[in-house]
């Protein structure tokens, strides 16, 4: 079955095709049903769950699910807009790997997932009051009351441990290496 046939089975008439990638947009209320149908259609792998922050737009956030077939012949992206302070239904019951992806989205963006078995931070410490990937989080970071846990000074870029040659496409290397 082709992606076009899959999209018809999902009831999608206007998929977005860009650079060989297919994206469909669904409402939050039909997200779980769409993801469930995708799994039934053979999209057995959940490659990634990410989120976008459209600061000063409503709804503010957008969830992005990257799906693929086991033979890697078909890829599909599902997007759904999410208002601030609205919980997204969890996909853990469909794909166990959603557990870590959803926790990361919560940790970095503050989007919670309804029905998630372990909705807690995965990268930042419990009690950290901010969400570092939101657009309103300052690039310089926030002062920490726990300096032994979090580095809060300015990160040194110039003169750091790695160097690159201007215009080179190679990997960075440690100073003193050729």
- CATH number of the domain bearing residue 55: 3.30.460.80
Which single residue is written with the structure tokens 């600061």? 55
Number of structural domains in the chain: 1
Q: Whole-model pTM?
A: 0.78
- Select the more confidently predicted residue: 115 or 127: 115
| In the chain, alpha helices (H) | 3-9, 31-40, 98-109
User: For residue 159, what pLDDT is reported?
Assistant: 55
- The answer to the question of residue 178 being in a domain is no
User: For residue 154, what pLDDT is reported?
Assistant: 54
Residues 6+ apart with CB under 8 A from 96: none
Distance CA 160, CA 174 (A): 9
Helix, strand, or coil here: 36? helix
User: In terms of residue numbers, what domain contains 110?
Assistant: 3-139
User: For residue 153, what pLDDT is reported?
Assistant: 57
- The answer to the question of residue 175 being in a domain is no
Percent of the chain with pLDDT over 70: 77
Q: Strands 162-163, 173-174: parallel, antiparallel or unpaired by DSSP?
A: antiparallel
- Select the more confidently predicted residue: 102 or 159: 102
Residues 6+ apart with CB under 8 A from 130: 137, 142
Look at phi and psi of residue 141 and say left if phi exceeds 0, alpha if psi is from -120 to 50, else beta.
left
- Select the more confidently predicted residue: 12 or 1: 12
- The answer to the question of residue 57 being in a domain is yes
- The answer to the question of residue 102 being in a domain is yes
- The answer to the question of residue 22 being in a domain is yes
Tokens of 40: 């039934």
Which single residue is written with the structure tokens 């992606």? 3
- The answer to the question of residue 134 being in a domain is yes
User: For residue 174, what pLDDT is reported?
Assistant: 53
Distance CA 20, CA 9 (A): 20
User: For residue 165, what pLDDT is reported?
Assistant: 56
CA angle 145, 148, 151 (to 5 degrees): 80
- The answer to the question of residue 65 being in a domain is yes
Q: Strands 16-18, 21-25: parallel, antiparallel or unpaired by DSSP?
A: antiparallel
Question: Are the C-beta atoms of residues 87 and 108 closer than 8 Å to each other?
Answer: no
């Amino acid at each position: 079955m082709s992606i076009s046939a899959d999209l018809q089975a999902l009831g999608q008439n206007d998929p977005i095709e860009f650079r060989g990638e297919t994206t469909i947009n669904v409402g939050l209320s039909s997200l779980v049903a769409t993801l469930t149908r995708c799994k039934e259609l053979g999209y057995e792998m959940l490659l990634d769950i990410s989120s976008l922050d459209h600061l000063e737009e409503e709804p503010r956030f957008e969830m992005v699910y990257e799906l693929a077939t086991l033979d890697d012949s078909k890829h599909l992206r599902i997007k759904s807009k999410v208002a601030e302070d609205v919980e997204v239904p969890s996909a853990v019951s469909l794909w166990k790997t959603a557990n870590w992806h959803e926790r990361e989205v919560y940790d970095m963006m503050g989007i919670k997932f309804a029905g998630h078995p372990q909705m807690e931070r995965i990268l930042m410490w419990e009690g950290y009051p901010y969400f570092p990937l939101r657009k309103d989080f300052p690039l310089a970071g926030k002062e920490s009351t726990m300096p032994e846990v979090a580095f809060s000074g300015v990160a040194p870029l110039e003169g750091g441990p790695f160097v690159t040659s201007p215009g080179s496409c190679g990997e960075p290397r440690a100073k003193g290496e050729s």
